[in-house]
Amino acid sequence: MPVTVVTDTTHYMPRDLLDAYGIEQVSLYVKDGDELTRESDMPDFQAFYDRLRSKGDLPTTSQPSVGDFLEVWEPILESGSDIVSVHLSGGISGTVESARLAAAEVAAGGSQRRVEVVDSRSVCAGLGFIAIAAASAARGGRDVEAVRARAEQAVAENRIWFSLDTLEYVQRGGRIGKAQAWVGGALKVKPILTIDGEVIPVERVRTSRRRFERMVELLKERKEAGATVWGVQHIQDPEEAEALADAGREIFGTDPLVISEAGPVIGTYGGPGMLGIGAIRPDLLES
């Protein structure tokens, strides 16, 4: 393909799905005490979440370095492929800015290939959907400008929501965005939020049942809008995620593109009990 799509590990899509689209990735990091670990090196997330529940201090997360990007990009560029690199929202992480610095270094080095960086303004399945949309265009043989344009179109059309069991983790981690107004008494409710560059509050509900019902209603809204490729993600709540997926199957008449668990970089702030949903128009995934 003339263009390769690169993303980062905060999509939390199954690796075989990304492999099917030829998508490469750069890892973010988790620091717990003196231990710094690439998220991509974690075989599963159970031990991390066990520690998260039991420790008073949250782990910290860090973006990839310029060198991390170049390590992934250079073999791709040397193979003769341009790159569209799509990353989690710049409003909650410096990852996309690090990618831009790396792209500037590639350009300054006189490379004949191009690197275009796209801010997804999203994360988790939202990021994954955008990367797959871009990779679908690349698989169709489109050039780097067209692949970037597809990614940006998907950014504009993409929608995700997530519900937290508590605002405690996102507040402590400092990634609360416009939901700051909910801090205080709201810590005992189950907020529904979205992300469009930053975390944006949508609704406060008081019970797990109402949270579930509201997430189902949001899936119905996406179907009505023509966004029929959908997915469910969670943190340490596979039973509720599967129940939500069953509801989605009834709405869409199809299986979800993904049911998966979000990892430590997002889990540090979302906390156990998080549920997420998203959907995108199928034409954005056409070659």
Tens of pLDDT, residue by residue over 23-80, are 999 999 999 888 899 999 998 899 999 988 887 778 889 999 999 999 999 999 999 9
Q: How many domains does the chain contain in total? A: 2
| Strand, helix or coil for residue 134 | helix
Same domain, 21 and 102: yes
Residue with the larger pLDDT of the pair 260 and 183:
260
Residues 21 and 107 reside in one and the same domain: yes
Assess whether 112 and 182 both reside in one domain: no
d(CA 130, CA 92): 17
The span from the CA of 142 to the CA of 233, in Å, is: 30
**Does 86 have pLDDT greater than 80?**
yes
Q: Which domain holds residue 57?
A: 3-156
Measured CA to CA, the distance from residue 123 to residue 197 in angstroms comes to 9
215 and 91 in a common domain = no
- Are residues 132 and 192 located together in one domain of the fold? no
Q: Letter for the amino acid at 217?
A: E
In this structure, what CATH number is given to the domain that contains residue 46?
A: 3.40.50.10170
pLDDT digits (tens, 9 = 90+) for 230-239: 999 999 999 9
Is 9 in contact with 131 (CB distance < 8 Å)? no
Residue 226 is classified by DSSP as T
Please give the residue that has the higher pLDDT: either 156 or 207. Answer: 156
From 115, 134, 156, the end of a domain falls on 156
Residues 246 and 119 in one domain: no
Looking at residue 192, which CATH number applies to its domain? 3.30.1180.10
Which residues, in sequence order, are bridge partners of residue 86?
118
Same domain, 22 and 59: yes
Q: Do 229 and 89 belong to one domain?
A: no
pLDDT of residue 174: 59
pLDDT at 93: 94
Let me know whether 143 and 226 are in one domain.
Answer: no
Phi, psi of 95 (to 5 degrees): -60, -45
pLDDT tens for 158-184 read 999 999 987 778 776 655 555 555 555
For 232, the 3-state DSSP assignment is strand
Judge if 212 and 127 occupy the same domain: no
Q: Mean pLDDT across the chain, nearest whole number?
A: 92
Domain boundary among 100, 129, 156: 156
pLDDT, one tens digit per residue, over 242-258 is 999 999 999 999 999 99
Please give the average per-residue pLDDT across 113-139, as a whole number.
98
Beta strands 3-8 and 24-26 are: parallel
Do both 196 and 99 map to the same domain?
A: no
Whole-number Å distance between alpha carbons of 140 and 153:
16
Per-residue pLDDT at 178: 52
Whether residue 261 is predicted with pLDDT greater than 60 in this model: the reply is yes
Are 233 and 10 in contact by the 8 Å Cβ rule? The answer is no
Q: Count, in order, helices (H) and strands (E) of the chain.
A: 10, 13
By three-state DSSP, how is residue 204 classified?
strand
Task: Provide mean pLDDT across the span 194-201.
Answer: 91
Q: Are residues 87 and 198 in the same domain?
A: no
255 CB-near residues (< 8 Å, 6+ apart): 245, 249
Q: What is the DSSP letter of 59?
A: P
Q: Considering 134, 156, 178, which residue would you say is the last residue of a domain? A: 156
